[in-house]
Structure 1
């Protein structure tokens, strides 16, 4: 099984929405279908604030990654946060997420991306191990914080 990344486009909406729904259900994220569609459709339309990538064959993706772009003085330019990463449960444990996490920075660095960040539940040891294998490291004395508006 391949972790090939395909940049999401409007024609992929019906393929990615069920994956997002499954991820949100698994993580206990309470959103409506309308909210999920409103969150992903602009990315598929090419809004410059982020991108969605299908993992695996575009006609039958096995997962997805969403990245949101920002700017960092500290990192010297364009940076991004991995907002969501999901692999179907039936194909987990085969190295697909690792492959995708290694391919994503390669794909984005050609556009000047200087840093890639993500957030992980401190109790999710499997995810932490995966992210460390892909080169992500915790930043001492830093904690990701959020405020809903």
Structure 2
């Protein structure tokens, strides 16, 4: 296959898809999904963040993140509180923190397997290239 932006984009999407499917399967064992765990990760990294900021951080629409956040609240993993103006702030509960931490171990293992075929130098090169493309 010749390397073109289109073929490279498809290869990138395929690698991401395989990694996400593997993570979803592994996270199911601890009672969560990749989308839910990623939301917990984003909330942990930005406590008190608005729903919009969290939607952007998790590559979701505002509406999708709102629906997800409501499910996380119903599961007792996230608390919502009024913020400044109309802003609603999000924070992890103790249960949410436990799921996040368990998911960290699971996703670290899955991601390590996903990139196991690359040497340290290849991984560094890929990282640099993806940073450049992602910032463009």
Scaled by the length of structure 2, what TM-score is found? 0.28
Asked which structure has the greater RCO (Cα within 8 Å, sep 6+), the reply is 2
Scaled by the length of structure 1, what TM-score is found? 0.26
- Higher fraction of strand: 1
- Higher fraction of helix: 2
Structure of larger gyration radius: 2
